[in-house]
Structure 1
Amino acid sequence: MWRRVLRPQVTGTAGFFWRSLFTMKLKSSEFQSLFTDGLSGLAELFEKHQYELRIAGGAVRDLLSGKRPDDVDFATTATPEEMKRMFLSAGIRMINNKGEKHGTITARVHNENFEVTTLRVDVEMDGRHAEVEFTTDWQKDAERRDLTINSMFLGLDGTLYDYFKGHEDLQNRKVRFVGSAEQRIQEDYLRILRYLRFYGRVVLEPGDHEPETLDAIRNNGRGLAAISGERIWVELKKMVVGNHAAHLLEQIYDLELAQYIGLPPDGNVEEMKRVWENAKDHSPKPMTVLAALFRCPEEVEKMDVRLKVSREEKTLAVFLVKQRRELHKSQDDPDSLKPFADFIIDSREMDSKSKVCELLKYQGEDKLLAELSRWTIPRFPVSGHDLRRMGITSGKEIGSTLQELRDIWKKSRYQMEKEELLSHIKP
């Protein structure tokens, strides 16, 4: 059941305007499944001390979409000090006090951790961080959030509190900033990438952006240069494996954002679009899609300096850029998997099979990808110990003999057993 309440709202210098507060009752099984002993105990404690407690942000969005959220954040009218006194009096342990200066207290109730954050209002922003003050006004807290679909609250009785038509946007598959897109972006420039990421999660078809939103992004894109690479990479790698990834990466280039987020300014967008079509149905890793933009390994190095990706992610990108043209199926050999199997055997690296699978996704080799996924890396049956038993003691000779036997083993399609291989050693 819906209820609408009209109330005045203030947003900085924007003046007064009327916004509708929509409420409804949610009774889904996904919502009911959240009520563990821990959450029930937490709810009873806040009710006893007469503080409001609601589910906030992304968890509300997921529940309204029929999904059980992986993480649930809570908002409250209680200040951090009030929460600490309340938890201490109830004998509840608090952990990870790093979030306290931002208003977040993490309490452990019935072996579950609950992050509860005091309602806040921004008082000073520099495009990267915000100085906040605590408030008891739910609407003011909603106003400081980025997107309408992330600005809703859900009471523990199932009541939805929606100040900016977030539920309507979710139903209509729209992604909009709360209030002025320009203002929201200038408060935190990372919201540009968050907008694009959520666009991929929510919108059904690419290319359905509001022109004023794209204008606001284009006008403020250089602000991303001041955002840390780690924060950018968190958003970027989620975006490139979501829906419409090719369209969103193309938008990044159309909006002239690439130079600020570690991507090559003249990235190969057409190659990226082709690779995305090849790989999208096979759960590619983020770097598999992004590698298509790089024209040489040096561009991967520049990206790493900006984004500080993991060693595994960087080596995958370098591998794909180097091998995407060199390592491919043979047109003459009926065993088209052989070049890839040989590469894996020769590399002797733990993650070589995983890298080659990503290469096959990149190349669009669906059949070979299925074959390689089923293939078990064979174990070379001969060791240096076997050669020493045959009287070969020189380390150099052992090394060269093992390599000769590996070549013979490879030609046998890895079928030859130890004794047969050892028979090739000349006395």
Structure 2
Amino acid sequence: MRRAEALARLEKAEWLARAAPFFACLDGASGATRAVGGIVRDTLLGIERTQTDLDLATTLLPNDVMARATAAGLGAHPTGIDHGTVTLVHGGMTAEVTTLRQDVETYGRHARVVFGSDWEADAARRDFTMNALYAGGDGTLFDPLGGLEDCLARRVRFIGDPAQRLAEDRLRVYRYFRFCASHGEQRFDPDALAACAAAAHDLSRLSAERVGQEMTRLLALPRIGNTLSAMIGIGLLAEGMDVAGAMGVFERYEHIDPEPALAARLGIILKNGLSADDLKTRWRLSSRLMREAEAILEAARCLLADRVNEVAYRWPEIKLHAVYLGAALGGKPDAWVERHVEILTQIDPPPFPLDGRDLKALGYAPGEALGAELARLKGMWIERGFVPDRAALLALAAPPQSNNS
């Protein structure tokens, strides 16, 4: 990407106007406050962002930030004031403002910090060179570590010694691979990969929730096959999973689903060795997400068993993802995919015409027998293409069993 084009995009960025109140009250014009990180990086790369928040770095002390923001009529919240972070809100935009700092001691995610005014020292404590890029309120780039070249080349490179960066926070092992997939075109720096491999055996102290957040963000990206292969190659992810079987499915799935789904990828993991409970615990996943993953996997299996009507009725929201996952699991050709997408797109099942009251009218008492007969009739109705109407279904209903002995 051309440097001049990227810098021009930054200077004209739409978010600068919305962020102007933050820069104005925090001496942005004098260089005391700059935007940093993702919003700067993605603007330079031309990546559209859906978030309305931004990170700001400032030489002002946290209490000064609070006082200035309050005087300017901005919402101000001391969300992490002991570590220099204040959250400001204005016009639907949120700014997390952090005073320049230097980590003087690090232990995992936590650090003892001192505040300062050295922009290069603040940049040096960050993870990747592409994340140590700053922008003033007028869109002028400030690049203390020369990270622009890496950013525009989509090269994910640790700042300084990769082993040191990983020692400061082991979660950066997972974060590195996520960034390689999202911003690095799945290319890997040899030094970074070697450092990740060396650290892979020492990740037990990471919280399941933090690992799960990184993994779900990774698994939701469009293209991740090479990244997963590299992670497995250094010993990540393989525990409890059929690696060889899973990789082939992952690669096939992402090349046929135009919008790969996180739940479908979790379904692949479930299919290849891990139970839903194990996966939920390992990554602290929500029950809702796990139910969706299990549903897509079940729907895909139904399609492979030629139960198309059942998928159309039970899983209308995920039916197309189930087609793509089913094709990946079953090694189906493109023609199979096209045919099932066409069929499922055309099927619009009506509501099931019976409910429990209909069977009660036939003499069924509330309970398991009623539920089982209703399920049997619904299965028959689905199998027959939703054709039997209410009267026909009632005629097919089995008479209730007598309770007399």
Deviations 1:105-144 (A, max 9, x none): 1223345432211111111111332222211111111100
Distance in 1 between residues matched to 2:42 and 2:180, nearest whole Å: 15
1:94 aligns with 2:57: no
Q: The residue matched to 1:257 in structure 2 has which SS?
A: coil
Per the TM alignment, residue 25 of structure 1 is displaced from its structure 2 partner at its CA by: 9.1
Residue 138 (structure 2) aligned to one of 157, 170, 173:
157
- Indicate conservation of the 8 Å contact 1:120/1:134, yes or no: yes
- The residue type paired with residue 204 of structure 2 is A
Distance in 2 between residues matched to 1:412 and 1:30, nearest whole Å: 62
Distance in 2 between residues matched to 1:197 and 1:78, nearest whole Å: 32
Deviations 1:246-282 (A, max 9, x none): 1111111211123xxxx52553234333333224433
Pair 102,381 (structure 1): closer, same or farther in 2 beyond 3 Å: same
1:361 aligns with 2:300: no
Residue in structure 2 matched with residue 409 of structure 1 by the alignment: 381
- The residue type paired with residue 366 of structure 2 is G
TM-score by length of 1: 0.78
Pair 131,265 (structure 1): closer, same or farther in 2 beyond 3 Å: farther
Deviations 1:59-79 (A, max 9, x none): 111110123433321111111
Pair 24,132 (structure 1): closer, same or farther in 2 beyond 3 Å: farther
1:63 aligns with 2:43: yes
- The residue type paired with residue 312 of structure 1 is R
Residue in structure 2 matched with residue 269 of structure 1 by the alignment: 244
Mean CA deviation greater in 49-58 or 61-70: 49-58
Q: The residue matched to 1:121 in structure 2 has which SS?
A: strand
- The residue type paired with residue 59 of structure 1 is I
1:45 aligns with 2:58: no
Q: The residue matched to 2:26 in structure 1 has which SS?
A: helix
Residue in structure 2 matched with residue 303 of structure 1 by the alignment: 279
Residue in structure 1 matched with residue 403 of structure 2 by the alignment: none
Distance in 1 between residues matched to 2:272 and 2:298, nearest whole Å: 8
- Indicate conservation of the 8 Å contact 1:272/1:289, yes or no: no
TM-score by length of 2: 0.82
1:118 aligns with 2:99: yes
Q: CA RMSD in A?
A: 3.3
Residue in structure 1 matched with residue 152 of structure 2 by the alignment: 171
Matches within 5 A, 1:9-408: 26-28=7-9, 31-36=12-17, 38-47=18-27, 52-69=32-49, 70=51, 71-95=53-77, 97-204=78-185, 206=186, 208-258=187-237, 264-280=239-255, 281-294=257-270, 299-318=275-294, 327-330=302-305, 336=306, 339-342=307-310, 352-354=315-317, 357-364=320-327, 366-367=337-338, 368-369=340-341, 371-372=343-344, 375-388=347-360, 390=361, 392=363, 394-395=365-366, 398-399=370-371, 402-403=374-375, 405-408=377-380
Per the TM alignment, residue 189 of structure 1 is displaced from its structure 2 partner at its CA by: 0.9
- Indicate conservation of the 8 Å contact 2:219/2:265, yes or no: yes
Q: The residue matched to 2:141 in structure 1 has which SS?
A: strand
Pair 379,170 (structure 1): closer, same or farther in 2 beyond 3 Å: same
Mean CA deviation greater in 208-217 or 41-50: 41-50
Distance in 1 between residues matched to 2:217 and 2:140, nearest whole Å: 30
Mean CA deviation greater in 415-424 or 24-33: 24-33
- Indicate conservation of the 8 Å contact 1:139/1:163, yes or no: yes
Deviations 1:173-218 (A, max 9, x none): 21110111111111111111111111112233x4x42322211111
Per the TM alignment, residue 310 of structure 1 is displaced from its structure 2 partner at its CA by: 1.0
| Contiguous gaps of at least 5 residues in structure 2 | 328-335, 400-405
| Contiguous gaps of at least 5 residues in structure 1 | 3-21, 331-335
Q: The residue matched to 2:228 in structure 1 has which SS?
A: helix
